[in-house]
Amino acid sequence: MADEASHWQSFWQELWLRESAPPFHLPQVNPHLIRHFPQLRLAPGARVLVPLCGKSVDLGWLAAQGVEPVGVELSPQAAAAYFAEQNLTPQITRLGPFERYEAGGVVILCGDFFELQPTVAGPFDAIYDRAALIALPVGLRRAYAATLARLLRPGGVLLLVALDYPQAQMPGPPFALTPAQVAALYPDWPAHEWHRQDILAEEPRFAARGLTRLEEYVLQLRHP
């Protein structure tokens, strides 16, 4: 796993150095988050982990809902860009192996996600995974899911936004992820599908890469 993780980290660090707005970045709040956040029924002040967050504006939206979002991001360029684009000057401190950025009710921990431990960041009440798991090759998925399971308190919820398509038709990232693969990664976690739609017509760049089907879906899973 170490070699694959190192390759993955280099890929994403180089991408953020090359591009200020990678293709997966949404300049607006994700509509699935807006629609489904109330269904999570989180208490005010609940801690929400946003893995592989990039410079997502979803972080600020979550803070405005009265919860405490904590993003984790490998690239310092992406972390700094989030605060710069929100006209915020973060306080930067050290937290274990991470650089901790904080401003505007948002915390971003910059470093290797797989090094995140409950003793460093504390347990979370919810996790919002949009384009995180599908950014990882298959060989890193189990380690990723195990990390989330350690960080999410029992009874906590995971909101997952993912893509399903014929993997043989296009190399990732983003990688295809089926609900059956999700179930294998999170055994015994009750799951509910809240949305599914073929979005290929809305994503011509993927059709140009040879895809014949591209389904986006939203799952809510609960840590047993």
Q: Which residues contact 194 (CB under 8 A, 6 or more apart)?
A: 36, 39, 218, 219, 220
For all residues of the chain together, what is the average pLDDT? 93
Q: Cβ distance 193 to 218 under 8 Å? A: yes
C-alpha pair distances (Å), 126 with each of 6, 26, 32, 192 = 28, 21, 15, 15
Q: Which CATH superfamily is domain 2-222 in?
A: Vaccinia Virus protein VP39 (3.40.50.150)
Chain centroid to CA 198: 21
State the pairing for strand pair 191-198/215-222: antiparallel
Alpha carbons 216 and 197: distance in angstroms, whole number? 5
Provide the pLDDT for residue 10: 77
Domain borders along the chain are 2-222
Which tokens in the block code for residue 5? 């993780």
37-77 residue pLDDT tens:
999 999 999 999 999 999 999 999 999 999 999 999 999 99
Rounded to whole angstroms, the Cα distance separating 147 from 141 reads 10
pLDDT digits over 7-32, tens only?
677 776 777 767 666 667 788 999 99
